[in-house]
Amino acid sequence: MGGSCSMPLAAHARFDGEYLQLEAARGDPEQASAPVRARSAEVIGTLDEAAALGTAVAARLRAAGAH
């Protein structure tokens, strides 16, 4: 999705018990609208599962209008 100094992109992850919660946001400096946000939580046991959670949240951002 490519964040930069002019293209804001943020993610925050934390464990809540056995769940990894991931929240992400992406802004568009050419639009005055609020950033597009997405989040998800899954039981995570491996790095591959954590990566899949990140991929799923990125897909939700795109589906919500982030480019």
Instruction: Record the pTM.
Output: 0.79
Q: Looking at residue 2, what is its pLDDT?
A: 56
| Structural domains counted in the chain | 1
> What are the C-alpha distances in Å from 55 to residues 16, 41, 42, 62, 64?
20, 12, 12, 11, 14
Percent of the chain scoring above 90 in pLDDT: 54
Flag whether 3 is in a domain: no
Flag whether 1 is in a domain: no
Flag whether 35 is in a domain: yes
54 lies in which domain range? 9-63
Q: If you average pLDDT over residues 16-42, what whole number do you get?
A: 86
